[in-house]
């Protein structure tokens, strides 16, 4: 964490200047009148002048209660006919978080993993009531004006924020943690003993959506890197201490916790058929947990799973089927791993079909991608092969495959027959879903991890592991672009 702290000390004081890339005006800091030296070192920031007005806020989605907003993971939203022309055509801005590095430059120390774990915005944004919310591995959650990119508030969370912020009413829920073991826990892991992943303060925060002020915090022994799912006022999430938690979203009190033994890496749960579904590591299983009782309804696995391969994937759900990607050993010493896509019956856990993707090298991090389901079709990328696929949800029949040339970890956003997918090279591809033809590519720079994009009207919003959020008109990605 020395590198993280160094970046904080040298850049947090200059974060306003960095944010000026997005025309952010000078925010007031809540810590200015505080005598707490720590709060002065990591100041929460708030500028109410950048809040959208009520009319603008009414044009956007009203809530965000699961990763990528919906169980199928296709976060695409239309605008009413009365919306301003600039929102229909697409707005353009770029916001740099504290410590962000130039998008046209190399990663920190020449290493993309270090960059992502230090200043990256890894998993995508949430867009609700005219505000873009994003988590940052520098510890901050940011709220930005969706039209202008100006910062409204920033909240510091004392650990990496790899979650997709949830919004329910006037509250934002974010979770924090990190992918590390301390020395003692590493030794337990090596010896085959049960262990806990995620040193430091691991927390679910409830924040005021307009001010960023903390309402409550719930702490767990292990990391909470996944995004919880909000169901009827309760938050469900798996953690690095091998448990699934149900927490009351109103007051942050524990309802129940279930011991599944497996630690959960980045598998943000999805809800369906009365259960929540998520992947776990060590032991490697995919779990269905009853929403009411917390009992494990079923669990399943496949042979040859590698590392956190089934626990890094956030599943998707549609029509009684839950879809998950995993990583397995390939048996080829030159290309030692492969991704496998699994479709399971949500009620029984029976594997309905599976598809093994091409072999390739071991990715440096996040060994799986996020599946997305829309219109009875599963769209899924491979971090191993760099291929992007489309499958029939019910039968598993492959509809098409396109090679994009580098690791794909994000989900897509599909609108008007086009899938928009960010990938490792710092590009966003527009792919025609009828046949897999690439209609266009836009080079943003930096690199995209599991940064699933969001489309509202004519704008695509996406975060980047170099510490940026970009708002991009769709017409810049595919010309001529589809009309929202």
Residue 346 lies in a domain: yes
Residue 393 lies in a domain: yes
Q: Return the ∠ at Cα 448 (arms to 444 and 452), rounded to 5°.
A: 105
Residue 239 lies in a domain: yes
Burial of 205 from C-beta contacts in 10 A (0-12 / 13-18 / 19+): buried
**454-456 vs 76-77, strand pairing mode:** parallel
Residue 252 lies in a domain: yes
- How far is the C-alpha of 412 from the C-alpha of 415, rounded, in Å? 10
pLDDT in tens, the chain (484 residues): 333 333 333 333 333 233 333 333 333 343 334 345 556 667 789 999 999 999 999 999 999 999 999 999 999 999 999 999 999 999 999 999 999 999 999 999 999 999 999 999 999 999 999 999 999 999 999 999 999 999 999 999 999 999 999 999 999 999 999 999 988 888 887 888 899 999 999 999 999 999 999 999 999 999 999 999 999 999 999 999 999 999 999 999 999 999 999 999 999 999 999 999 999 999 999 999 999 999 999 999 999 998 787 999 999 999 999 999 999 999 999 999 999 999 999 999 999 999 999 999 998 777 899 999 999 999 999 999 999 999 999 999 999 999 999 999 999 999 999 999 999 999 999 999 999 999 999 999 999 999 999 999 999 999 999 999 999 999 999 864 444 4
Residue 483 lies in a domain: no
- How far is the C-alpha of 431 from the C-alpha of 445, rounded, in Å? 19
Residue 482 lies in a domain: no
Could you give the number of structural domains in the chain? Answer: 1
Peptide bond into 117 cis (omega under 30): no
> Does the predicted model carry a pTM greater than 0.85?
yes
- How far is the C-alpha of 477 from the C-alpha of 440, rounded, in Å? 6
pLDDT for residue 160 = 97
Task: Please give the torsion angle defined by the CA atoms of residues 67, 356, 112 and 128, in that order, rounded to the nearest 10 degrees.
Answer: -10
Residue 247 lies in a domain: yes
Residue 390 lies in a domain: yes
**229-231 vs 459-464, strand pairing mode:** unpaired
Peptide bond into 283 cis (omega under 30): yes
Q: Residue 173 forms beta bridges with which residues?
A: 166, 206
Q: In sequence order, what are the residues at sequence separation of 6 or more whose Cβ sits closer than 8 angstroms to the Cβ of residue 21? A: 94, 95, 96
CATH assignment at residue 337:
2.130.10.10
- Structural domain of 207: 2-476
């Amino acid at each position: 964490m020395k590198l993280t702290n160094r970046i904080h000390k040298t850049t947090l004081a200059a974060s306003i200047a960095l944010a000026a890339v997005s025309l952010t005006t000078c925010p007031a800091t809540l810590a200015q009148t505080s005598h707490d030296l720590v709060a002065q070192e990591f100041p929460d920031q708030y500028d109410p002048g950048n809040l959208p007005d009520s009319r603008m806020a009414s044009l956007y989605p009203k809530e965000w209660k699961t990763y990528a907003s919906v169980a199928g993971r296709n976060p695409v939203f239309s605008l009413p006919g009365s919306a301003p022309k600039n929102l229909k055509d697409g707005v353009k801005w770029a916001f740099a978080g504290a410590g962000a590095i130039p998008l046209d430059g190399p990663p920190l120390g020449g290493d993309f993993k270090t960059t992502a774990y230090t200043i990256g915005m890894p998993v995508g944004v949430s867009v609700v009531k005219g505000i873009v919310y994003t988590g940052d591995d520098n510890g901050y959650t940011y709220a930005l004006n969706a039209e202008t990119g100006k910062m409204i508030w920033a909240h510091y969370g004392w650990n990496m924020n790899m979650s997709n912020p949830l919004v329910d009413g006037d509250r934002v829920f974010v979770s924090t943690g990190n992918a590390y073991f301390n020395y003692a826990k590493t030794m337990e892991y090596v010896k085959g003993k049960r262990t806990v992943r995620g040193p430091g303060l691991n927390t679910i925060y409830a924040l005021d959506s307009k001010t960023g002020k903390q309402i409550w915090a719930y702490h767990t022994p292990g990391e909470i890197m996944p995004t919880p799912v909000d169901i009827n006022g309760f938050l469900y999430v798996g953690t690095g201490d091998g448990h699934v938690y149900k927490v009351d979203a109103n007051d942050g009190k524990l309802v129940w916790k279930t011991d599944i033994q497996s630690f959960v890496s980045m598998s943000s749960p999805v809800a369906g058929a009365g259960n929540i579904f998520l992947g776990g590591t060590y032991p490697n299983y995919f779990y269905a947990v009853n929403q009411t009782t917390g009992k494990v309804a079923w669990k399943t696995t496949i042979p040859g799973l590698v590392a956190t391969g089934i626990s890094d994937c956030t599943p998707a759900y549609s029509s009684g089927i839950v879809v998950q990607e995993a990583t397995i050993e390939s048996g080829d010493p030159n290309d030692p791993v492969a991704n496998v896509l699994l479709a399971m019956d949500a009620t029984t856990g029976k594997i309905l079909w599976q598809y093994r993707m091409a072999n390739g090298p071991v990715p440096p991090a996040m060994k799986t991608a996020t599946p997305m389901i829309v219109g009875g079709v599963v769209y899924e990328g491979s971090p191993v092969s760099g291929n992007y696929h489309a499958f029939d949800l019910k039968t598993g029949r492959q509809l098409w495959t396109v090679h994009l040339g580098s690791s794909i970890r994000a989900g897509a956003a599909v609108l008007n027959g086009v899938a928009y997918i960010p990938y490792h090279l710092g590009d966003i591809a527009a792919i025609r879903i009828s046949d897999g033809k690439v209609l266009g590519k836009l080079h943003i720079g930096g690199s995209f991890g599991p940064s699933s994009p969001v489309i509202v009207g004519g704008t695509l919003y996406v975060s980047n592991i170099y510490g940026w959020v970009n708002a991009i008109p769709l017409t810049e990605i595919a010309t001529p672009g589809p009309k929202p």
